[in-house]
Chain A
Amino acid sequence: MKRKIYLDNAATTSVDKDVTEAMLPYFSGTFGNPNSLHFFGREAAKAVTAARDNIAAMLGCKPTEIYFTSGGTEADNWAIKGIYNANKDKGNHIITSKIEHKAVIASCKRLEKDGAKITYLDVDKYGIVDLEQLKKSITEGTLLVSVMTANNEVGSLQPIKEIAQICAERKVLFHTDAVQAIGTVDINVKRDNIDMLSLSAHKFYGPKGIGALYIKNGIKNDRYISGGSQERGMRGGTTNVPLIVGMNVAMEKAIRDMDINNKKLSYLRDMLIKRIESEIPDAFLNGHRERRLANNANFSFKYIEGESLILMLDMQGIAVSSGSACTSGSLESSHVLSAMNVPAEITQSATRFSFGKDSNEQDIDYIIENLKNNVTTLRAMSPLFAQQKGEPINV
């Protein structure tokens, strides 16, 4: 059978076996609606309460501060739009960064149409936000600062503790999209002064379609989905019992094994970075060398285009993704790399390798071998490569 290597764990992860097992009884056996008074409902409600309590404890907050959502995108939408709509009498300004996930950026763009003023903070060439610019940007009318814990494309870790500190001093709410960070970055919302946080189960070996928004008690946020009394009346819709149970088990395992996983992941990441840099000329690491997610390596290969490289790797059984949005159907190049001022000709070939718990050292040999061949093939085909070798082009 052809070898298959999954190196796209930043896009999604496989569901852990223990997670699947934990969820199964809640589909057909304990299937009740947690809002029902009867035994079936009470059993389901017990499971949800236990999951909520445990997730809250792992994040360092109270169970009443956890709101289950359909995932990270919904949590981000709620955090941004909810705060704006519930507090627009106090101001209309939101600060975010240029490298946020589309869920945050698109929510902000939507609010601009309603009259919100949005500041998109710059990042340095490593994809890390500018704290001085943040301090200068906060005004009387600033309602919220939203900066991600870790970037999904280049893995850059943001100084969220410092940002939270600045926000606390200036009495501005702070939200962080921690979708890429849970299970990899040590977060405690109380200790770290975080007011709101988004998370998504499928990034840490949980199921797709479930996530949560932590909202610190006392914060005025809008009811997000009109409906029943679920999530303390803030988010209607029948509680997704099996997925909540699964998310809890996944998160518990991810946080329990975080140190050991990070050690392995960063070892593999650093080995891949070292080998690409020593074996493939004109390959450039995007993002910060140390301040990056343990499982993320993002490289640009000069003179070639990313989609071709990704398709070639795919034919060889290696699943990676583009740092640029080109392959996902849009022709725009990555807003993250643009914000980092990576030259356009290099952003085109940005390729993200994101390791997971099943990755191993032998994978790296196979990746390097194929990567080298593909880059050579595509460069031989590239007019840009011919030019830099000094071959004249007589047009």
Chain B
Amino acid sequence: MYNDKVMENFKNPQNVGEIENPDGVGRVGNASCGDIMEIYLKIDDDIITDAKFKTFGCAAAIASSSMATQLIKGKSIDEAIKITNKQVIEELEGLPPKKIHCSVLAEEAIKLAIENYKSKKASNI
């Protein structure tokens, strides 16, 4: 069902966990549809210095979270906010059609986390 790259990211997911006092958090999904994804960001001067995730979901959701957090680390928020689910799928070398929504969740969680950072920053000024 899953390719080796997806399985590798499922078996050894990168960036699992939370960040204490994160600069941005994005949470998407709900339990009844089977997936919840949370992405935590540490951001210095608009550069993502650390990203972590917590995910309730299938192997594709865990692999997408792992890949998405790897993709955004070290990127500026402007670059990271442009990351699409297609890029996540490409990096994972493909997902089964029925699991495409997992990559969408990852894209949405990143965007929400960055929005969350931006709104926090705006309210601090």
Contact = CB atoms under 8 A, between A and B. Distances in A.
Pairing of A with B: yes
B98 A381 contact: no
A344 B32 CA distance: 5
Given A382-B54, A382-B56, A395-B116, A308 B62 contact: yes
A331 B61 CA distance: 13
A383 B34 contact: no
Contacts of B38: 383, 393
A385 to B, nearest CB: 8
Interface string A204-241: 00000000000000000000000000000000000000
Interface residues of B, number: 30
Contact of B58 (A326, A330, A381): A326
Interface string B55-66: 111110110000
B36 A311 contact: no
Interface in B1-48: 1, 7, 10-11, 13, 16, 18, 22, 25-27, 31-38
Contacts of A383: 27, 36-38, 54-56
Contacts of B37: 383
A168 interface: no
A345 interface: yes
B57 A305 contact: yes
B54 A305 contact: no
A381 B16 contact: yes
A156 B1 CA distance: 30
Interface of B: 1, 7, 10-11, 13, 16, 18, 22, 25-27, 31-38, 54-59, 61-62, 96, 98, 116
Given A304-B56, A315-B11, A386-B54, 5 more contacts: A311-B59, A326-B58, A331-B98, A382-B36, A383-B55
